[in-house]
Amino acid sequence: MALKITDDCTSCDACVSVCPNEAISPGDVIYLIDPNKCTECVGAHDTPQCQTVCPADCIIEDPAHPRAA
């Protein structure tokens, strides 16, 4: 399970500091989420913290890395 950042990202940097897994980093144009580190904050928070603070509402579930059944 992992999230991804869409092209609507404004690179505001709000999501980086709230990620408990340090899964978010700057890309060439927008921020990127490492799917190998992203746990959607399970075990740390009730909701993904990056989604909570994102003013552009551009962090979505990554269909390439779905939640385990």
Q: What's the pLDDT at 28?
A: 96
| Residue 50, domain CATH | 3.30.70.20
pLDDT in tens, the chain (69 residues): 899 999 999 999 999 999 999 999 999 999 999 999 999 999 999 999 999 999 999 999 999 998 765
How is residue 67 annotated by DSSP?
P
> Contact at 8 Å (CB) between 17 and 25?
no
Q: What's the pLDDT at 67?
A: 73
**Is position 68 within any domain?**
no
**Is position 47 within any domain?**
yes
**Is position 67 within any domain?**
no
Residue 23: domain span:
1-61
Half-sphere exposure of residue 54: CA atoms within 13 angstroms, side-chain side: 24
Between CA 3 and CA 22, with CA 27 as vertex, the angle to 5 degrees is: 55
Q: How many domains does the chain have?
A: 1
Q: Is the dihedral of CA 13, 32, 63, 2 positive or negative?
A: negative
pTM of the model: 0.92
**Is position 69 within any domain?**
no
> How many CB atoms lie under 10 A from the CB of residue 1?
14
